[in-house]
Amino acid sequence: MVTVTALEAELLEVAGSVLDPELPVLTLQELGVLRAVHMRGANAVEVELTPTYTGCPAIEAMSLDIERALHQHGVREVTVRTVLAPAWSTNDITDEGRRKLREFGIAPPRVRRESGPLTLSLGPTRTHAGDTAVQRQPATTDATEATEATEATGTADPIHCPHCGSADTELLSRFSSTACKALRRCLACREPFDHFKEL
């Protein structure tokens, strides 16, 4: 078991308070991408950061913001290291992060009950039961698609509209403002909204 010193815990809190550049309502700690801070000398630290997905364009901005925050806190030498294992999952988002996403108008990802690979299959784009005019999308290997198929069989919670709370929503696009979000529309209040895809 790795022992975390009081100073490392303090610096982890400082680094964790940095806002995510793509979702500035969340801190890196709430997003769950900040893994650890290790002292590497009298005035040097190494920060472990896991991207939400390999090739995430925000990782460089996150690293620079962490360095800036720790320099302002008095740390002279900061190294941010990208770690890919264990991989980040939307389950790493804290409850507070999920609450903030919802308040910001983004449907938070649902908690995945099992880990491991996702089974991929075609599925409907609407999440409510009883719709006979179900729309279909072309085959992809997107995790959202597997989630949609699971919803159709009733084995997953539906995606609720962050504006009115309705579960009567449909998928408009598998990709939204960022690759980790899908664009959906509520069929009750008719408002579009982003959904943070489950990974």
Query: How does pLDDT run across 19-34, given as a tens digit for each residue?
Result: 999 999 999 999 999 9
**CA–CA separation, 57 and 67 (whole Å):** 17
**CA–CA separation, 194 and 185 (whole Å):** 8
Cis peptide before 24 (omega within 30 of 0): no
**pLDDT in the model for residue 18:** 98
Phi first, then psi, for residue 192 (nearest 5°) are -80, 155
Q: Where in the chain is the domain with CATH 3.30.300.130?
A: 6-88
pLDDT in tens, 156-194: 689 999 999 999 999 999 988 888 899 999 999 999 999
Conformational region of residue 39, where left means phi above 0, alpha means psi within -120 to 50, and beta covers everything else? beta
Classify domain 6-88 by CATH number. 3.30.300.130
Q: What is the biggest distance separating any 2 CA atoms in the chain, rounded to whole angstroms?
A: 66
pLDDT in tens, 107-159: 999 987 766 665 655 566 665 544 434 343 333 344 444 444 444 444 568 99
